[in-house]
Amino acid sequence: MPSAGSFNTYNETDLWESLGRGDKEAFEILYRHYFKLLVNYGSRLTTDPFLLEDAIQDLFTNLWRRKVQLASIEEPKFYLLRALRNQLSRNTRNNVVDEAEDIDDFLDYLVSLSDEQQTVEQETILDRTRQIQAAISRLPPGSRKPSISVFTTG
């Protein structure tokens, strides 16, 4: 096949068959031709531009990996549109799993904060107890017993 030109220069079926034989130029021409169409179509399926970009890249990566199996596809345009819809669905499921892992990390973080907060609270209680004991020890001996009973019985 000649150097990568415009899509209109070639027959779509010939490009698709060339892709099936591993022709990188055919792959590039198909990518350049269908990219904008896939972006427009995909933007109706998701509002997340990063998810869409990843899905299109994954779609073409998978297309290249399975190029030998593509020869039997008669309508490449519709195949790519359906494949993008499926890829977006897979990527969305994967994002949910990734977000769930992020949530688990966040919950672990909250638990660690809770542990830290308990430690701080225990240290604060211990510090106050020491301050109260020091204040009681400065009282005259007759005043200590009523003060101790007030602090120990609540």
Using one digit for the tens of pLDDT, what is the confidence trace for 119-132?
767 788 888 888 88
- Whether residue 2 is contained in a domain is answered as no
Whether 114 is in a domain gets the answer: yes
Provide the number of structural domains found in the chain: 1
Please name which of 107, 94, 79 lies closest in space to residue 15, comparing C-alpha atoms: 79
Q: What are the pLDDT digits (tens) for 44-102?
A: 999 989 999 999 999 999 988 888 787 678 888 999 999 999 999 888 876 655 555 55
Q: 45 with 88: CB under 8 angstroms?
A: yes
Higher pLDDT, 137 or 40: 40
Residue 108's pLDDT is: 65
Instruction: State residue 2's pLDDT score.
Output: 43
Whether 12 is in a domain gets the answer yes
Q: Could you tell me the residue range of the domain that residue 98 belongs to?
A: 7-153
CATH of the domain at 87: 1.10.1740.10
Q: Give this prediction's pTM.
A: 0.56
Q: What DSSP line would sit under 70-82, residue for residue?
A: GTT-S-HHHHHHH
The answer to whether residue 1 sits within a structural domain is no
